[in-house]
Structure 1
């Protein structure tokens, strides 16, 4: 338990460091736009594009992987029940209203890293761009005040792991 309290203390300290950045308002405004790219509907559009192009294996990998990722995400969310920063930090309000109550792990970050992993496998020439986008989604979630840093780190690990699982199980 002491270990978890230490991690939480570091997490809160890092969160406050992020909130104290000089250009936080600009970062937050940009973060809203970046965060929206990971809301989920764009992933469905991408799957429909792959389906239209006849890339059924890719559609199967995305579908299988997202099913596994979402199941894992919901189990972790409900299991850990970690409150969001605005719910536990004094005098703090987030910049957006989150879609659910708990913060661990970050679903937006998980989805973004899931897609970055798959797209890097399928389009390796753009790998740096995919991962920069995914990392920016995670940072945006922190700067919007809805996640602690470890929420996004675990989201990145969850999304990447589920993508690896999907590629291994379904394969192309």
Structure 2
């Protein structure tokens, strides 16, 4: 078991540096910090409120589904961060490329990835024809978290699974 854990951990770190360093260029340096905000609390709250205040009952129901899904998934994220306080990559690894806004809370799981995939799931249930763009954008948000040195790949994969499962179960 210990050997498997070490193997998984080393793969997490290798993949982290591949996204964090090898993808660096002028375009990604400008785009990734902007994309990451689409999984942030402000964007999620604004989108939920916009749906909730719609006059169309379909969009109101979607807003309720999104709001409850985000609340439940983020309560789970907060609990995980307390129970398993994993340091962020830039706090323990050398030569990590970071963005400007370094967070001090725990790394596991990624709240931005949870929110992005939760939102993608809810919107895909409402508009199934747009599933690929919704999940593509969610994947970019998740990858931006690794690119900015804030999360390991396992953090974003766990967040993605958590957001998707919670939204789907509550749908």
**TM-score, length-normalised on structure 1?**
0.88
**Contact conserved, 1:34 with 1:136, CA < 8 A, in 2?**
yes
Gaps of 5+ in 2: none
Query: Where do residues 46-65 of structure 1 align in structure 2 (5 Å cutoff)?
Result: 46-54=47-55, 55=57, 56-65=60-69
- Cα deviation, 1:46-96, whole Å, max 9, x if unaligned, reads 222222224332232122212210110011111111111111102435223
Query: Where do residues 100-115 of structure 1 align in structure 2 (5 Å cutoff)?
Result: 100-115=104-119
Corresponding residue of 1:88: 92
RMSD value, Cα: 1.8
Corresponding residue of 1:161: 165
Gaps of 5+ in 1: 168-172
Corresponding residue of 1:33: 34
CA distance in 1, matches of 2:115, 2:90: 23
Corresponding residue of 2:13: 12
Number of residue pairs matched? 167
Which of 42-51 and 155-164 deviates more?
Answer: 42-51
Identify if the C-alpha distance between structure 1 residues 107 and 22 changes in structure 2 by more than 3 Å, giving closer, same or farther: closer
Per the TM alignment, residue 25 of structure 1 is displaced from its structure 2 partner at its CA by 4.4
CA distance in 2, matches of 1:10, 1:72: 25
Q: Secondary structure at the match of 2:22?
A: coil
